[in-house]
Structure 1
Amino acid sequence: MLNFRPVLLVTGALVTALGVTMLIPMIADLLSQDEVHRADWSAFAVGAAAAILIGSGAAAASWGRIDDLGIREGFMLTAASWLALTLFAAIPLALGGLHLSYVDAFFEAMSGITTTGSTVVSGLDDAPPGALLWRSMLQWFGGVGVIIMAFAVLPALKVGGMQIFKNEAWDTSEKFIANAAQYSLGLSGIYGFFTVLCFLCLWGFGMTPFDAVNHALTAVSTGGFSTKDSSIGAFLTVGRGPIDLVVTVFMIIGSLPFGIFLAAITRGAWKRLFTDSQIRFFAGIVAFLTIVIMIEVYEVYAHLGLFTAFRMAIFNVVSILTGTGYATTDYDDWGAFAIAFFFCIMFIGGCAGSTSCGMKVFRFQVALSAIVVYAKRLAHPSGVFVARYNQRPLTDEIYVSVLSFFFVYFATFATLAVILAGLGLDTLTAISSAGTAIANVGPGLGDIVGPAGNFAPLPDAAKIAMSIGMMLGRLEFFTVLVLLSPAFWRG
């Protein structure tokens, strides 16, 4: 029988903690020099009160020692906590100076906490500081949550082949909650260190402290929310330092497996940063895709020089590949090839155990190894061939899990695209919106939802459908879809 008490307890505690963090943007508004922005503090005060009262009430009602948390409770907790946090995170956005409806606020909060980066907000340059900071904080929370989930929850739940990482930082089991608590502090510490380092670098290269804080929070989390309508492009003025290259470095860091950072620090395994097959495969993809699009960019902007073409290429490749969604320019202007190119690479993603989105490169490695082994068996029917990942043999269970993930991923994408088209979106907008939601990327393609636009013109039903797509994509699909199975509730 399902034990709802620990699910309610942990979810209530997380909602309470979220309410406490709302005091930070509230203080930012109170310190604002603009009287209109200063008045926005009340939205966060109401949101904090609601989250703290309801969250603490739920936690108190289910208070007690949690001896273990089984697989089924793990599925429930993962989906319930992310949905509850989004529902409460939307409250100050709906009540504040951004003047959003609750549907728009929910979309924005879901985009934030899933580190998608799609937005319905325009006029960011003049938005209240509290709202800007809250959007960035949501992405930072989502990033660290994804890291802990990737190492503590998904391997134990055997979702999408993630069981291949069960010994990455610790040995997961049916009772994984103790291990999650044991290592989450270390992972969070590393995540926080890179965030502070990013802030110092951005500040040192000319950003104001406020802009540097926001972009540090959203770069390491590969979230992509900015304080400017023109995103990182607003900071690439004459006389500024190479802020785009700094952001590129930290987007890449956020896309690397944090478990390996933890192993390097705790076990001295620094060589794994250079020998891990997933990291090397990801680095190869970044290098190859950068060269491909750099050639295209150079043909369009030859007068700016090869180095500028490289900067534009690597920034936008890393931004879309990792699901961050920052922009320095409208790449829709680069031609049909660039549009198709960025649409395709948005599905790839970074490394497992990182903050990045997409399908994760290890799944492509597993799929390629399956293809190679199958080809060898066709050529040599009597031969014995074993595929390996990081020198470890791959089992049939992992193959089935990964290939099932591919099928569900693209089936969900196709379904969402059809739903959006049925709601009145044109073909390009519907397909790219579905892709950016499922892959948690941020900007889509075209004049409406492309890098120069946003998602505000979409109907409310489309925003709700995309919000569901964001959550499915971020929680690796099966974590949510398994809850729809009658067998799950029968035990």
Structure 2
Amino acid sequence: MIDIRPVAHTIGRISVALGAMMLFPAVIDYNAGDPNWIRMAQSSVLVVVLSWLVVAATASSRGNLTIEQSFLLTSGLWLVLPLIGAVPLMLGAPGLNFTDAFFESMSGLTTTGTTVIPKLDDLPPGTNMWRAILQWSGGLGIVVVAMVFLPVMKVGGMQFFRSEGFDTLGKVLPRAGQIAAEMTWIYLGITVICALLYVVTGMSAYDAVLHALTTCSTGGFSNYDASFGAFIGPAEWVATLFMILASLPFVRMLQAIRGDLAPIWRDSQVRTYIRWLAYAIGVIIIYRLAYMHDVSNPWDILRETVFNVITVFSGTGFASTNVLQWGHLPFAVLFCAALIGGCTGSTGCSVKIFRYQVLFQAIRAQIRRMQSPHRLYPLRLAGKRLEKDVVDSVMTFFTMFVLSFGLLIVGLALTGLHPKTALTAAWTAIANVGPVWGPEITSNGSIQRFPDAAKWLMSFGMYLGRLELISVLVLLLPRFWRG
């Protein structure tokens, strides 16, 4: 049997930190004169005390984690933390029921950005800030998991990145702490710079901090029903820049800060990501200029297209306009872009550029083998040989992703949702994108009218998608629990 005490100890310590973060929005509500600060503070005390009891009870079990315990930790974190994040949403404003509060919290921590709240403008400022903090915390956690745990667990081909100086086998916790500290400073730094630039573009300090948290986490929560439509103009360009930065590998940013800028551009993921972004933007702009009747201001079309393509491609999910009005081809491009996502080791969502690169290399090699069956075609990426276990792991990931996506569509349709709604809800959940379209959606994009069964299915889809599917599904095997 697996000893879960070291796992519980680690989750307990992280839970204490998350509970303490509730004091920040409590202070915001207190300064605003909103009585919701009392509920926020009570939630903080409740979470910190209960979490600290777990930490104290398992203090003697601290130590290095095995591979099985690493699987359990990564999967357990994204179940326990959404429960904790839901507490102030239930005890205080907006007073959600358990299903809605858990969904909102899961959407935040997985940086998906879909909401069940129909009137964001009416929420206390502390509650909206708490939603942003959940996304920012989730974005940081995602980067650490991608760099520390997934390579060790060989999930989805991530073992390819163990040579990046983050080989943690046999020393997961000590190395994880070091990496987390380095990534936190980078993450915090770009968030502060983003917030300052938002202020320069005319945002209030509160709006700037909140949107910086949700931009750099590629989360997309806003405190306005109009989302980023409340900040048309220069702020969109700031958001565009930082959504791209947050979608790049954080290890490259670390190298750049240490004085070596070359690896950023030499990284094939980065070059491919920028190139595919340019393709998507170019196709949509050409289509809109060709088929839209009013092209009196092409600059607005450029700004609007660049912002909304990047927000979907990166998985942020902000919206500054109704993209459905652009036509069928632009919508198809956006739909496909969200299923690609950002770079590995970033806060970006979905499948990731790296896996598509491996997929295309494998397809190319297979076609060449059909032409010359007796020749050997070794697979290489970024100058490194792709080992068979990496290719097999990536192919397994693609298979599970497509299968999970299809089953999620069917499941959501069976709850009574319109087919279009079921499709886009499954898409946004499994790819952690944010927007949903369909007749059941409210004016601000909320899924409040969804049946509870659909909300739980989407919560599971967000959970699966964010944890790279296999790290969750492996827990369903009886052999795993036998150690």
Shared fold by TM > 0.5?
A: yes
Match among 272, 276, 290 for residue 281 of structure 2? 290
Quote how far apart the aligned CAs of 1:450 are.
8.3
Q: Say whether the 8 Å CA contact 2:315–2:434 is kept in structure 1.
A: yes
The separation in 2 between residues aligned to 1:354 and 1:66, in whole angstroms, is: 29
The separation in 2 between residues aligned to 1:184 and 1:27, in whole angstroms, is: 27
Q: Number of matched residues? A: 482
The separation in 2 between residues aligned to 1:447 and 1:295, in whole angstroms, is: 29
Q: Say whether the 8 Å CA contact 1:443–1:451 is kept in structure 2.
A: no
The separation in 2 between residues aligned to 1:220 and 1:467, in whole angstroms, is: 22
Give the SS at the match of 2:32. coil
Q: Say whether the 8 Å CA contact 2:9–2:61 is kept in structure 1.
A: no
The separation in 1 between residues aligned to 2:307 and 2:442, in whole angstroms, is: 16
1:388-438 residue CA offsets vs partner (Å, 9 max, x unmatched) = 111000011111100100010111111111111110001000011011000
Match among 166, 169, 175 for residue 173 of structure 1? 169
Partner of 1:117: 113
Alignment TM-score, normalising by the size of structure 1: 0.96
Give the SS at the match of 2:117. coil
Q: Say whether the 8 Å CA contact 1:346–1:358 is kept in structure 2.
A: yes
CA RMSD of aligned residues (A): 1.4
Partner of 1:371: 363
Runs of 5+ consecutive residues of structure 2 not aligned to the other structure: none
Partner of 1:57: 53
Q: Say whether the 8 Å CA contact 2:217–2:246 is kept in structure 1.
A: yes
Quote how far apart the aligned CAs of 1:170 are.
2.0
1:221-242 residue CA offsets vs partner (Å, 9 max, x unmatched) = 0000011111111111xxxx51
Which residue identity does 2:175 align to in structure 1?
A: N
Partner of 1:9: 9
Which residue identity does 1:368 align to in structure 2?
A: F
Quote how far apart the aligned CAs of 1:26 are.
0.6
Partner of 1:126: 122
Farther-moved stretch of structure 1 (65-74 vs 7-16)? 65-74
Q: Percent of pairs identical after alignment?
A: 43
Partner of 1:281: 272
Q: Say whether the 8 Å CA contact 1:323–1:441 is kept in structure 2.
A: yes
Q: Say whether the 8 Å CA contact 2:9–2:62 is kept in structure 1.
A: no
Match among 202, 227, 230 for residue 231 of structure 1? 227
Partner of 1:342: 334
Which residue identity does 1:296 align to in structure 2?
A: Y
Partner of 2:152: 156
The separation in 2 between residues aligned to 1:452 and 1:347, in whole angstroms, is: 23
1:137-181 residue CA offsets vs partner (Å, 9 max, x unmatched) = 000000000001110010001000111111224223143222111
Quote how far apart the aligned CAs of 1:452 are.
4.7
Partner of 1:362: 354
Alpha-carbon spacing, 1:275–1:302, altered in 2? closer, same or farther (3 Å):
farther
Quote how far apart the aligned CAs of 1:484 are.
0.5
Partner of 2:203: 207
Which residue identity does 1:78 align to in structure 2?
A: T
Q: Say whether the 8 Å CA contact 1:169–1:262 is kept in structure 2.
A: no
The separation in 1 between residues aligned to 2:173 and 2:466, in whole angstroms, is: 20
Partner of 1:477: 469
Match among 92, 95, 101 for residue 91 of structure 2? 95
The separation in 1 between residues aligned to 2:208 and 2:314, in whole angstroms, is: 20
Alpha-carbon spacing, 1:95–1:394, altered in 2? closer, same or farther (3 Å):
same
Farther-moved stretch of structure 1 (159-168 vs 447-456)? 447-456
Which residue identity does 1:101 align to in structure 2?
A: N
Which residue identity does 1:374 align to in structure 2?
A: Q
Farther-moved stretch of structure 1 (183-192 vs 173-182)? 173-182
Partner of 2:21: 21
Q: Say whether the 8 Å CA contact 1:437–1:467 is kept in structure 2.
A: yes
Farther-moved stretch of structure 1 (466-475 vs 330-339)? 330-339
Match among 113, 136, 142 for residue 140 of structure 1? 136
The separation in 2 between residues aligned to 1:78 and 1:335, in whole angstroms, is: 40
Q: Say whether the 8 Å CA contact 2:63–2:173 is kept in structure 1.
A: no
Runs of 5+ consecutive residues of structure 1 not aligned to the other structure: none
Match among 365, 380, 385 for residue 372 of structure 2? 380
Alpha-carbon spacing, 1:204–1:155, altered in 2? closer, same or farther (3 Å):
same
Alpha-carbon spacing, 1:449–1:296, altered in 2? closer, same or farther (3 Å):
farther
Q: Say whether the 8 Å CA contact 1:329–1:451 is kept in structure 2.
A: no
Match among 216, 232, 243 for residue 220 of structure 1? 216
The separation in 1 between residues aligned to 2:237 and 2:142, in whole angstroms, is: 25
Alignment TM-score, normalising by the size of structure 2: 0.97
Alpha-carbon spacing, 1:449–1:294, altered in 2? closer, same or farther (3 Å):
farther
Alignment of structure 1 residues 401-440 onto 2, 5 Å: 401-440=393-432
Quote how far apart the aligned CAs of 1:65 are.
5.7
Which residue identity does 2:98 align to in structure 1?
A: Y
Quote how far apart the aligned CAs of 1:275 are.
1.1
The separation in 1 between residues aligned to 2:453 and 2:40, in whole angstroms, is: 26
1:294-321 residue CA offsets vs partner (Å, 9 max, x unmatched) = 1233333643422221111111111111
